[in-house]
Amino acid sequence: DFSKARNYSFSKATQDYCMWLDADDVLLEADQKELMKLKETLSPETSVVMMRYNTGFDNDGKPTFTYYRERLLRREDQFYWEGFVHEVISPRGKMEYSEIAITHRKIKAGNPLRNIRMFKAKEKEGILFSPREMFYYARELYYHKYYDEAITQFKKFLNTGKGWRENNISACQFLGYCYHQKGEMREAVLSLLNSLCYDVPRAEICCDLGKYFYELKCYEQAIFWYAMALSCERNDESGAFISPDCYDYIPYI
C-alpha cells in the first residue's frame, strides 16, 4: 500500500512544505535552480504547487509525455495520500502551477508484474475499488494484454458516473486501443467518439481517430481528424496526460 508509506513519511515532516520524489525521479540542474528561486518567492498562502512530470522522452531526451503532479504541499493543510497503487493527493486550497519539471529516469527496468499482482490480490480479497482504482486496474489489464478484461473494467469505471473527466476521456481512448488490438475497428472508433460526451476533442483522441481511419483507408475521414488535432488547444493544466507531438508533429506527418 503505497499511500500508507507516503502518509507515514509525510507524518515525519517538520518544515512548512512537503515535497515527494520517487527513487527514479531527478531534478535536472536548471530545475534545481528554479526550485531555489521558487522557495524564495512562494506565497505562504499557497497550499499546492503543481509541477511538470516528464515521463516519456525521444532519442534526444526531449520530453514526449508530460503532465502536472502535486509536488509541493503545505504541511498545515494535512494532505492525505489515497490509493494502494497509483496513489494520489486531491489538491485543494490555493494552487500554483510551475514550469519546474521533475524528470522520471529509470536506471533499470522495474518489475512489470508488480501493479497487476497488487490489483489482483486486492480483487481476490474482495476489496471494493474506487472509480480511480478501477480506471488504473483497467489500464494495467490493457498493458498486460488482457483486452477483454480491460474492456469490462473500463466500461465498469465509466458506468459509475463518478470518474474524473480526464480519466473518462482516457478510458475511452484505452477502450479504443483494446478494440484495435482485437481487430474490431468499428468499436475502436465508437469508443473514441464516446470521449466527446465528456468534453471537446483532445488532440490525442483526434490523432487516434486519424490513425484508425487511415488504416481503414478512409482517407477523407483521416484527414478531417488530423486537421482537427491541429486545431485543438493544448492545456497542460487540465491534469490530463499530454502527448505534445499530437498537437503538431504527428498530424502534420
**Residue 8: exposure state from Cβ atoms within 10 A (0-12, 13-18, ≥19):** exposed
For residue 20, give the C-alpha cell.
515527494
Cβ atoms 25, 106 nearer than 8 A: no
Q: First and final CA of the chain: distance in angstroms?
A: 43
Cβ atoms 112, 54 nearer than 8 A: no
Query: Digits of tens for pLDDT over the chain (253 positions)?
Result: 889 999 999 999 999 999 999 989 999 999 999 999 999 999 999 999 999 999 988 888 888 888 899 999 999 999 999 988 888 898 899 999 999 999 998 777 778 888 999 999 999 999 999 999 999 999 999 999 999 999 999 999 999 999 999 999 999 999 999 999 999 999 999 999 999 999 999 999 999 999 999 999 999 999 999 999 999 999 988 888 889 899 999 999 9
Please name the CATH architecture into which domain 114-252 falls: Alpha Horseshoe (1.25)
Question: pTM for this one?
Answer: 0.82
Tracing cell 488504473 back to the chain, one arrives at 136
For residue 38, give the C-alpha cell.
521558487
pLDDT tens-digit readout, 177-193: 999 999 999 999 999 99
pLDDT tens-digit readout, 87-127: 889 889 999 999 999 999 877 777 888 899 999 999 999 99
Q: Where are the domains of the chain?
A: 2-104, 114-252
Residues in the chain: 253
